[in-house]
Structure formats: structure tokens, C-alpha cells
């Protein structure tokens, strides 16, 4: 274990020692279903990295429930308010946030069979492409100004205050846009996992921000050169699956010159995703409670745990 500034740092073997005794088993088939395109995760990752992480979340969740009980006693309430425990997961495009979110949802659902554990991505709170074009910021899609932050804050506030069924816009990577008249439904969860590149960013001229609603947060980290490699690999897979579907956003690139398509993808990475990572996403890393650092092959080689 290393201690640096406000984080304890553990290599893979050290972190595995915090393994939960009541480990929740996961099958290869389940892992195949929840992993993102070109992401890699193994049963050993589940036991070595994610089982200790689930155990830590279990402890934090118990503490949270105790705090809610204490508050209800102070206020003289007959019963605890139904206030969900919210986990935020941040990191770059193509780093594997969605795989982490879906795996944690599975593990927590198994650990708490009587609880409702749901997951959502902030992609749905991007402005529709037509609105981004109207604002002249389509080439800055994913940057802070491309999100309807007022709508996202309103959503988070309703979820945290247990305001019944809450709906969020649905985003499709196939059409690269918000899906008209389709919604993700969040129905009074006990635990909600919120995944997105922007979830740990600090507010800009706003009194409250997304991370203010989090009770636990995770940052998925990797060297930008590796993330670019994963981004391009994912782009290639998207091309391979899009050439038969003219409605797919990637169809135009799939049927065209492949070199030109990859030149375009590299430009998007350099001018949009890498710029966004360096200027807005990476600076939020040290705000997380846990940092999962990935190396070649998406292998998590180090876990950093916030001291305070």
C-alpha cells in the first residue's frame, strides 16, 4: 500500500485482500452480457477488484442508512424517509465506465435482493443534435455546455427526494442522438448508479451540481494513449456492425473508405474527446472516493481510496 496526499493506493494483490467473505458469484455468460464493446473483464476481476469494492459500498451504504435513521429520529419522524443511496461513476469516453456501472448493479442487486438497484447514464441529458447545431456547438458534444444541466439537476433532485417515478431522456449510440419520445424510467430506487463523463465536474455559476447528490463516487482512469486505442477499436467494431443498417449513424462511414473513416475518428478523438478529457474530466479525478486505474487490456492494476 502506498499513501500519497489524500489517497491510499493499492496494487491489485493488496486490494484483493479486502475481498468480501460473502462473495457474489458471476458467470462468464453474465459478464459477456454486461461488458461494453471491446471492453475486457474476467471472473478474476470480479473477485479481485469488484468484490472488495462491493464490500466497501456495503459498509458505506450501512453508514448512510444509519445517518438517515439518526436524522429521522431528530426530526421526530415515525419512519425513515425513502432517500436513495446514489453512486456516481466518471471517466473518459471509451474507458469502460458502463461496464463498471452494469457490473456493480448486478453485484449490488445480488447483495440486496430486497432492494431496487437501478442504473442510468447522463448521455440522455445531452441536448439533441438539432439543438446542438442551433447553438453552434455540435463539434463540442460531450463538453459541459452540451448538456441540459438544468434538466439533469431537476432529475437528480426528484430522485433524491423520492418524488415517485422519474423519467429521463433516452440516448442511442446507434443514431448518435436523443431518441424521440423514449425514456429511461427510474422508479423509487434504493440504490441508483449514475454513470457519465461529466458527473464529477464542478458547478459553473450554479448553486448545486450533480455530484452534490452522490453518496459514493468512482473514477475509472487510464493513460490517454490507451484510451485513444480503445476508442478507435470500438469505432472499428461500430463500423463492422453498421454497414447493413442505413439508419445507423456509423453507416455512412461503414460503407465509405475505411482509412478516411479512421482519420475522421482520430480527429474527433484529438479535437473533442482528448480535449474534453484534459480540460474537464481528468481534473475531477481526485474528487472521487475510489479511483480504478486501468492498464493494457483494460486490466485494473491499481485502486486508490480517498482518506477523507
Q: Which positions make up the binding site for ATP?
A: 91-98
Under DSSP, the state recorded for 24 is P
State the binding site: 91-98
Distance CA 182, CA 170 (A): 6
Spatial strand order in the sheet of 2-4: 2-4, 7-11, 299-306, 290-295, 216-221, 85-91, 191-195, 117-121
Bridging pattern class, strands 191-195 and 85-91: parallel
Cα–Cα distance measured from residue 198 to residue 129, given in angstroms and rounded to the nearest whole number: 18
Q: What is the rounded CA–CA span in Å between residue 177 and residue 130?
A: 9
Q: Is 259 exposed, middle or buried (0-12, 13-18, 19+ CB in 10 A)?
A: exposed
Amino acid at each position: 500500500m502506498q499513501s500519497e496526499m489524500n489517497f491510499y493506493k493499492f496494487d491489485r494483490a493488496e486490494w484483493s485482500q479486502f475481498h468480501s467473505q460473502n462473495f457474489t458469484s458471476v458467470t462468464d455468460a453474465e459478464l459477456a452480457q454486461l461488458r461494453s464493446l471491446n471492453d475486457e473483464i474476467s471472473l478474476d476481476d470480479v473477485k479481485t477488484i469488484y468484490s472488495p469494492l462491493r464490500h466497501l459500498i456495503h459498509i458505506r451504504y450501512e453508514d448512510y442508512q444509519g445517518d438517515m435513521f439518526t436524522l429521522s429520529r431528530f426530526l421526530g419522524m415515525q419512519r425513515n424517509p425513502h432517500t436513495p443511496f446514489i453512486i456516481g461513476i466518471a471517466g473518459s469516453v471509451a474507458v469502460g465506465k458502463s461496464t463498471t456501472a452494469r457490473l456493480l448493479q448486478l453485484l449490488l442487486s445480488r447483495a440486496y435482493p430486497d432492494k431496487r438497484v437501478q442504473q442510468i447514464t447522463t448521455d440522455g441529458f445531452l441536448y439533441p443534435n438539432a439543438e446542438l447545431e442551433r447553438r453552434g456547438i455540435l463539434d463540442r458534444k460531450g463538453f459541459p455546455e452540451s448538456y441540459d444541466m438544468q434538466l439533469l439537476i431537476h432529475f437528480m433532485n426528484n430522485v433524491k427526494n423520492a418524488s415517485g417515478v422519474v423519467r429521463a431522456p433516452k440516448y442511442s449510440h446507434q443514431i448518435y442522438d436523443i431518441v424521440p419520445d423514449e425514456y429511461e424510467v427510474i422508479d423509487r430506487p434504493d440504490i441508483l448508479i449514475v454513470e457519465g463523463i461529466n458527473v464529477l465536474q464542478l458547478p459553473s455559476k450554479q448553486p448545486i451540481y450533480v455530484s452534490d447528490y452522490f453518496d459514493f463516487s468512482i473514477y475509472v482512469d487510464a493513460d490517454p494513449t490507451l484510451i485513444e486505442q480503445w476508442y478507435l477499436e470500438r469505432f472499428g467494431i461500430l463500423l463492422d456492425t453498421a454497414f447493413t443498417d442505413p439508419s445507423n449513424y456509423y453507416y455512412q462511414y461503414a460503407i465509405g473508405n475505411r482509412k478516411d473513416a479512421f482519420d475522421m475518428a482520430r480527429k474527433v478523438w484529438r479535437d473533442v474527446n482528448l480535449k474534453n478529457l484534459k480540460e474537464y474530466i481528468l481534473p475531477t479525478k481526485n474528487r472521487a472516493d475510489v479511483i480504478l486505474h486501468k492498464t493494457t487490456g483494460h486490466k485494473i492494476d491499481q485502486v486508490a481510496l480517498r482518506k477523507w
